[in-house]
């Protein structure tokens, strides 16, 4: 059973991570790697921000592919029409998170389970929910058609009872929320409140020099942000282009990959490395 994290983690990545990739298939594959990393380390939110090397359509593309990945397979056809951006969605790796269950029949369900669904019909007595099972699920609440919902399912005397629940109340890791902000990272951070903000940079302090302090701060924090730069520009340069100083907006600037053997660590590579280290430490 994969429990959700105590803390709420938000990852910031630039829209330009796909700007240097010419083919849609390779763009899709790159976003797929990012989606797997976010789910592997139980990230709660991912924010795609606009940097000067990106276009609005880059951010919209990344957000759409990540939202598609995060959606359970049995719901995708109800939520996502076939579009050019999803042409190569078939190459995306499965997440296999708790909200992507393999059971497809009511008989295979445990006595108590959680499941996502989408409203396919509204009745006088409530709503019909498609939840990827051999029979639709009924709830007593009238809901808007097309709405994605989370359900608590119970088997009672051979019958399946469904109750609407909030995603935040589910004790399991229930995927990540995706946000595209068509504005610089400095403006986004100014509108948010985090207990701890960590910037990643090869020009940051060595992780070992702040290790104990960072771990202690992490354990006392409820809302945490982790910032990543682009393939061509690090966070120092990105913030400088916005007329800001990185150190004024974050608590730590850390080099998580000291003595790197390559000139540039790609954003998707840095994401995996940083999240793995923090997962082990905190």
Q: Count Cβ atoms below 10 Å from residue 207 Cβ, excluding itself.
A: 18
Residue 231: the pLDDT is: 80
Contact 201, 254 (CB under 8 A): yes
Claim: this prediction has a pTM higher than 0.85: yes
What is the torsional sign of CA 157, 160, 163, 168? positive
Mean pLDDT in each 10-residue stretch from start to end of the chain (282 residues)?
95 95 96 98 98 95 98 97 95 98 95 97 95 96 97 92 97 98 97 97 96 97 97 94 97 96 93 97 82
Domain boundaries, the chain: 8-96+176-281, 106-169
CA dist., res. 189 & res. 251, Å (int): 12
Residue 240's SS3 state is: helix
Residue 158: the pLDDT is: 79
Would the CATH topology of 8-96+176-281 be identical to that of 106-169? no
Structural tokens at position 100: 């992507």
Residue 157: the pLDDT is: 84
Residue 282: the pLDDT is: 75
What's the CATH number for 106-169?
Answer: 2.40.50.140
Residue 277's SS3 state is: helix
The domain covering 8-96+176-281 belongs, at the CATH homologous superfamily level, to SPOUT methyltransferase, trefoil knot domain (3.40.1280.10)
């Amino acid at each position: 059973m994969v429990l959700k994290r105590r803390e709420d983690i938000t990852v910031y990545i630039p829209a330009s991570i796909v700007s240097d990739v010419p083919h849609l298939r390779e763009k899709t594959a790159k976003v797929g790697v990012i989606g797997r990393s976010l789910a592997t380390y139980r990230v709660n939110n991912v924010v795609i921000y606009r940097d000067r090397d990106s276009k609005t359509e880059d951010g919209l593309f990344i957000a759409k592919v990540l939202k598609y990945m995060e959606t359970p397979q049995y719901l995708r056809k109800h939520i996502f029409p076939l579009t050019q951006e999803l042409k190569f969605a078939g190459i995306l790796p499965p997440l296999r998170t708790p909200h992507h269950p393999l059971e497809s029949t009511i008989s295979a369900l445990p006595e108590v389970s959680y499941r996502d669904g989408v409203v396919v019909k509204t009745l006088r007595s409530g709503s019909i929910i498609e939840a990827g099972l051999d029979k639709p699920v009924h709830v007593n609440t009238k809901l808007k058609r097309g709405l994605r919902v989370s359900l608590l399912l119970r088997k009672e005397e051979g019958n399946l009872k469904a109750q609407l629940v909030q995603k935040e109340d589910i004790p399991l890791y229930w995927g990540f929320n995706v946000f595209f902000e068509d504005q610089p990272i400095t403006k986004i951070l100014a509108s948010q409140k985090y207990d701890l903000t960590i910037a990643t940079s090869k020009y940051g302090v060595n992780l070992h020099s702040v290790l104990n302090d960072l771990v202690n701060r992490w354990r006392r924090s409820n809302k945490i942000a982790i910032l990543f730069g682009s393939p061509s520009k690090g966070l120092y340069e990105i913030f400088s282009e916005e007329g800001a100083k990185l150190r004024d907006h974050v608590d730590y600037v850390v080099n998580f990959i000291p003595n790197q053997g390559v000139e540039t660590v790609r954003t998707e590579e840095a994401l995996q490395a940083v999240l793995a280290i923090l997962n082990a430490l905190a």
